[in-house]
Amino acid sequence: MRLIIAAIALLGLTAGALAQQPPAAPPFATTKVEGTDNVYIFRYMNHQAMFIVTPAGVIATDPISYARPQAAKAYLDEIRKISQAPIKYLVYSHHHYDHIAGGKVFKEAGAKVVAHKKAKERLAILKDPNTVIPDETVDRKKTIKLGGTTLELVYTGRNHSDSSLVMFLPKEKIIFAVDFNSLGAVPSRLAMNDSYPGEWEASLKKTLELKWERMIPGHPGPGGRLGTRADMEQQLAFLTDLSAEVKKASDEGKCFSPADTELKLPKYATLQNYEQNLSWNVHRYCGYWGRGI
Ligand SMILES: [Zn+2]
């Protein structure tokens, strides 16, 4: 009897505790970009993608399902809450799986998978079982016109990867640009791993030549905000100064060590993750200037 009473009391407590807990926040969210008729951001945890809904069909980008196969399904379900129009395209921002795994559900829904030609080359070699090989490739530029929307896929050169496409909506003055412009932050170790010093800065300059005003990043910006031209100019200034300082250190025989611990760029000390990430940035540019890597 005592046991039963204890069990009932415990149940009561559990029910009470459950009732008091706020509902768990869903891991994903879809938001319409302010000031646009049909441009949306789908965020799943710390990754996000742009999609555009037109009467003639939907243009989706980055299925972001690496290590979480449910993300692409949730993404497609979210699109379906807004539109039943056919999914015409799935465009990859670049070939890194954390952004593009999981495209199968989009392909099965009828999407043509589009990426830079280098992305297709790399994916064909890597054979990731969860990443769909592109159907169509872009070299320097491709324009998609669908249901009154124009989307330009522009290759501005090698930067964070060798396959990054800038997705540019000229009417809306918006770009979707992934991993090569860290908003208000020093690029992370992962941003540096597969990067191209020197060419990265040139690519930022070319991206700035496009007439955009707002940038949708592949990882949410501080407070979830969009990127600005000032963010990209700051990233360019940071990489340019980093490169010049590392070149000096390299000429003095300080690469990789002690430059990777000693070199500082105090002008950028207020950027997010400056302390944690600076040495990786120095390391990458030391590889470039010190070894030709
Ligand atoms: Zn990447």
Going from the Cα of 159 to the center of ligand 1, the distance in angstroms, rounded, reads: 10
Nearest to 73 by CA among 20, 26, 109: 109
- 259 in Cβ contact with 216 (< 8 Å): no
In terms of domains, do 172 and 203 share one?
A: no
Would residue 237 count as lying in a domain?
yes
Statement: the pTM of the whole predicted model exceeds 0.75? yes
How many domains does the chain contain in total?
A: 2
Q: How much is the pLDDT for 21?
A: 60
Q: What mean pLDDT do residues 162-170 have?
A: 98
In terms of domains, do 113 and 251 share one?
A: no
Going from the Cα of 175 to the center of ligand 1, the distance in angstroms, rounded, reads: 16
Going from the Cα of 89 to the center of ligand 1, the distance in angstroms, rounded, reads: 21
Q: How much is the pLDDT for 103?
A: 98
pLDDT per residue as tens digits for the range 181-213: 999 999 999 999 999 999 999 999 999 999 999
Would residue 122 count as lying in a domain?
yes
In terms of domains, do 65 and 42 share one?
A: yes
Would residue 17 count as lying in a domain?
no
In terms of domains, do 153 and 199 share one?
A: no
Q: Give me 92's structure tokens.
A: 């990859």
Boundaries of domain holding 49:
25-179
Radius of gyration of the chain (CA): 22
In terms of domains, do 192 and 175 share one?
A: no
Going from the Cα of 164 to the center of ligand 1, the distance in angstroms, rounded, reads: 8
Identify the domain boundary among 179, 194, 221.
179
Going from the Cα of 95 to the center of ligand 1, the distance in angstroms, rounded, reads: 7
CATH number for 171:
3.60.15.10
In terms of domains, do 152 and 243 share one?
A: no
CB neighbour class for 119 (10 Å; exposed up to 12, middle 13-18, buried from 19): buried
In terms of domains, do 195 and 148 share one?
A: no
Q: What mean pLDDT do residues 111-130 have?
A: 98
What type of residue sits at position 37? Answer: D
